[in-house]
Amino acid sequence: MDARRRALELAKQREAEDRRLFQEQEARRIAEDERRQREREESERRQAEENVRLELEAEARRKAEADAERRAPQGKVDANAPAPSPADAEAAEAAAARGRGDARRRPGEEDDARARPGVRRPVKGAEAPKPARPDRDAGRRRGKLTLDKALTADDGARGRSLSSIRRRQEKFKRSQQNTPREKIAREVTIPETISIQELANRMSERSVDVIKFLMQQGQMMKPGDIIEADLAELIASEFGHTVRRVAESDVEEGIFNVEDNVEKLQSRPPVVTIMGHVDHGKTSLLDAIRKTSVVSGESGGITQHIGAYQVEQDGQKITFIDTPGHAAFTAMRARGAEATDIAVLVVAADDSVMPQTIESINHAKSAGVPIIVAINKIDKPGADASKVRTGLLQHEVFVESMGGEVLDVEVSATKGLNLDKLLEAILLQAELLDLKADPERTAEGSVIEAQLDKGRGPVATVLVQTGTLKIGDIVVAGDEWGRVRALINDKGEQIKEAAPSTPVEVLGMQGTPLAGDRMAVVENEGKAREIADYRQRVAREKQVAKNAGQRGSLEQMMSQLQDTGLKEFPLLIKGDVQGSIEAIVGALDALGTDEVRARIVHSGAGAITESDVALAAASNAAIIGFNVRANKQARDASARDGIEIRYYNIIYDLVDDVKDAMSGLLSPERRETFLGNAEIREVFNITKIGKVAGCLVTEGEVERGAGVRLIRDNVVIHEGTLKTLKRFKDEVPKVISGQECGMAFERYEDIRQGDVIECFRVEHVARTL
């Protein structure tokens, strides 16, 4: 045992040391990469400017020569003949002088030219051109040089290899042949903004030509500069292309859900998330499975904590997402990631079905993910597996022994009992699902978690879902992008590529994406930047628009129904007691017609929680609270995600509102704004006034004249108005968070220490559909 512990410690130390070294190495590499990138950009910029300058000079020279030729008798050209106009002559001379390696050149200019390989510089080799052969010779004369001179002047001195000289010779010949390239007019797709380089690519033109054109219009620009669609359209038509203007969102077109090639599909491992009620053993089960795989897997292969890990059973792989719980699962889903194939529902055999077991079932069902039940803690004396099975029956989870199709396995996470059977059940379910992906295509995946690592920069754990992710790929995730610099698997090993269903740490992102963001490989950096820019803009706009409208509101849902022809009205209902919830669900069910019906994505007793808001966001549902409130986290999440929470205390009102929304006949909306909460610290009995609550405002503010509710244990006890709002002895219009005050209700006295007084304002807004 001791030996094993020592070995583990040693391995851990080694791993820490490796990691430190790796981090240092990475930091150096990041700095080096950035330096190179800066240099590359600078040299590209200089080169583009130089090319443009040369082109302009060449053009001026051509013009001057053409004029000279026109004046010369019978095609006899005298290179030294006086130029036709002083301006042209000047231009031609200036151009020639720049190309000449003569004494008139400014010091350092030659070095400068040599420092830029690939830049075509005209060299003056004053050979008198021969007459006739107008086509080719005209081309030759243009440069006022001979091919040999052009090549030997520089290359000989620099001792270039023969093959590189030949390549340049070929290139030079090509450029000198005066046969104009056949011009193809294209339809160029132009989004609302585009980089010059990307526009040039789409037109199949050289970016230098575009920049030249812009220079002629008096605008100095670089290939990476972003221009508006109007200017892009002008450029495209100037180059003889037609234009198709598209919406900005079209930049995202085709990056996700690219069809797999059916012939290339191969089986892929299932991806599993573990869910269940608190303390039923989710973490223990994940740990137990991980440990088993380490023992049976390769020696020393200590699994890293990267957000997901893979195990092997009978030679087949299974991927487990390492963040247990339905809240994380649905939060990811709300961001668009459909990462999970199978949900393992952990139910403790000594505790049976509990509220979060039911939530988990609804979350899995709402995502259409099949469930496998792990009846855990089977080793405990009070364990009763059949009670679990019947408990599940009431929530429409029919396990095999009850005549259903849901697989169930009795396990003990702490004793390691039947874990292999659970893994076999997962593989069986996976086989039924026939999970496939095309490993040969470009990769798509989902971000499971991401953080900024001091040494390594942004690190995203990505679950590759289809295709193979490779080092060097350019990826977009959420509103971030990057070039994959390194891939690290769950064993901490650097790998070159990651196949479908593999979780892998991705290094090289420019920023940190969010868990649940989808990741895709795109063709080039320009495209990646364009998508990331677009998404950042959209995120900013959403932030601004957030308060203006809510997406999970009854009104919006109705208009969505009308727009999309959807027939379901998704609602999430939380109530104070099971009885009232059943009554509400029954009443809402009865409202359904052939055209539209309410779909309850989840219902349950208790406060509205953050996980309810996440589920509502993922299913586009509105939340209805009947005599219950949302806790602080849920309120924050609903404000952040734009999910409406409606509170009711009369079933009739609730059903009426839903009915009106469903039939599109909404009366003016009663829009409620939460103002603040005050906690009752003490209750005083004061003659003439009655019971007065001594309160501390814990959140927001309370206002006289606003609506108030008395809440006890997250349940609404009373709703009404305030009789008094006092600070010390004075009546005041408002009291803010952190201050104490005295409050009394109009005609209501059942107040207790620990109760919360919620303050809200009501507006009536006309509904427009």
Ligand X SMILES: Nc1nc2c(ncn2[C@@H]2O[C@H](COP(=O)(O)OP(=O)(O)OP(=O)(O)O)[C@@H](O)[C@H]2O)c(=O)[nH]1
Give the binding site for ligand X (CB under 6 A).
Answer: 276, 278-284, 324, 376-377, 379-380, 412-414
Q: Residue type at 185? A: A
- Write down the least CB distance from residue 626 to ligand X, Å: 27
- Write down the least CB distance from residue 614 to ligand X, Å: 16
- Write down the least CB distance from residue 270 to ligand X, Å: 21
Tokens linked to 533: 């820019």
Q: Which is nearer to ligand X, 216 or 386 (CB)?
A: 386
CA distance 139 to 264: 52
Q: Which is nearer to ligand X, 283 or 724 (CB)?
A: 283
Distances (CA, A) of 399 to 133, 388, 417, 613: 90, 10, 20, 29
Q: Which is nearer to ligand X, 68 or 344 (CB)?
A: 344
Q: Which is nearer to ligand X, 366 or 376 (CB)?
A: 376
CA distance 622 to 606: 17
Query: Which residues on adjacent β-strands are paired with residue 570?
Result: 599
First to last CA, the chain: 71
- Write down the least CB distance from residue 287 to ligand X, Å: 7
Q: Please, which residues have CB within 8 angstroms of residue 105's CB and are 6 or more apart in sequence?
A: 97, 98
Residues 626, 654 contacting (CB under 8 angstroms): yes
- Write down the least CB distance from residue 342 to ligand X, Å: 18
Tokens linked to 571: 């609602």
Tokens linked to 420: 């292999």
- Write down the least CB distance from residue 413 to ligand X, Å: 4
- Write down the least CB distance from residue 383 to ligand X, Å: 9
CB-based burial, 349-358: b 16+ in 10 Å, e otherwise: bbbbbbebbb
616 closest CA partner among 562, 659, 573: 573
324 closest CA partner among 271, 282, 373: 282
- Write down the least CB distance from residue 345 to ligand X, Å: 11
336 closest CA partner among 436, 238, 446, 231: 446
Q: Which is nearer to ligand X, 198 or 351 (CB)?
A: 351
Residue recorded with tokens 């792990």: 374
Q: Residue type at 314? A: D
CA distance 576 to 657: 19
**DSSP SS3 for 106:** coil
CA distance 767 to 437: 47
Distances (CA, A) of 459 to 58, 476, 477, 493, 511: 49, 14, 12, 15, 9
Q: Which is nearer to ligand X, 277 or 518 (CB)?
A: 277
SS (H, E, C) 206-259: CHHHHHHHHHHCCCCCCCCCEEEHHHHHHHHHHCCCEEEECCHHHHHCCCCCCC
Q: Which is nearer to ligand X, 53 or 380 (CB)?
A: 380
Q: Which is nearer to ligand X, 324 or 467 (CB)?
A: 324
- Write down the least CB distance from residue 349 to ligand X, Å: 9
- Write down the least CB distance from residue 265 to ligand X, Å: 36
- Write down the least CB distance from residue 578 to ligand X, Å: 23
Residues 615, 621 contacting (CB under 8 angstroms): yes
CB-based burial, 707-719: b 16+ in 10 Å, e otherwise: bbbbbeebbbbbb
Angle between helices 229-238 and 207-216 (to 10 degrees): 100
User: CA 542, 644, 338: angle at the middle one, nearest 5?
Assistant: 65
Q: Please, which residues have CB within 8 angstroms of residue 58's CB and are 6 or more apart in sequence?
A: 95, 122, 142, 143
- Write down the least CB distance from residue 625 to ligand X, Å: 24
- Write down the least CB distance from residue 386 to ligand X, Å: 17
Q: Which is nearer to ligand X, 383 or 519 (CB)?
A: 383
User: CA 517, 266, 307: angle at the middle one, nearest 5?
Assistant: 35
**Sequence ranges of the binding site for GTP:** 276-283, 322-326, 376-379
Q: Which is nearer to ligand X, 289 or 616 (CB)?
A: 289
Q: Which is nearer to ligand X, 281 or 478 (CB)?
A: 281
Q: Please, which residues have CB within 8 angstroms of residue 42's CB and are 6 or more apart in sequence?
A: none
Q: Which is nearer to ligand X, 417 or 521 (CB)?
A: 417
- The count of other CB atoms within 10 Å of the CB of residue 760 is 18
Q: Which is nearer to ligand X, 276 or 508 (CB)?
A: 276
- Write down the least CB distance from residue 611 to ligand X, Å: 12
Tokens linked to 121: 């510089």
Q: Which is nearer to ligand X, 300 or 382 (CB)?
A: 382
**Sequence ranges of the binding site:** 276-283, 322-326, 376-379
Q: In terms of DSSP bridges, do strands 645-648 and 669-686 run parallel, antiparallel, or are they unpaired?
A: unpaired
Residues 197, 235 contacting (CB under 8 angstroms): no
- Write down the least CB distance from residue 592 to ligand X, Å: 36
CA 453 centroid distance within chain: 19
Q: Which is nearer to ligand X, 367 or 413 (CB)?
A: 413
Residues 280, 378 contacting (CB under 8 angstroms): no
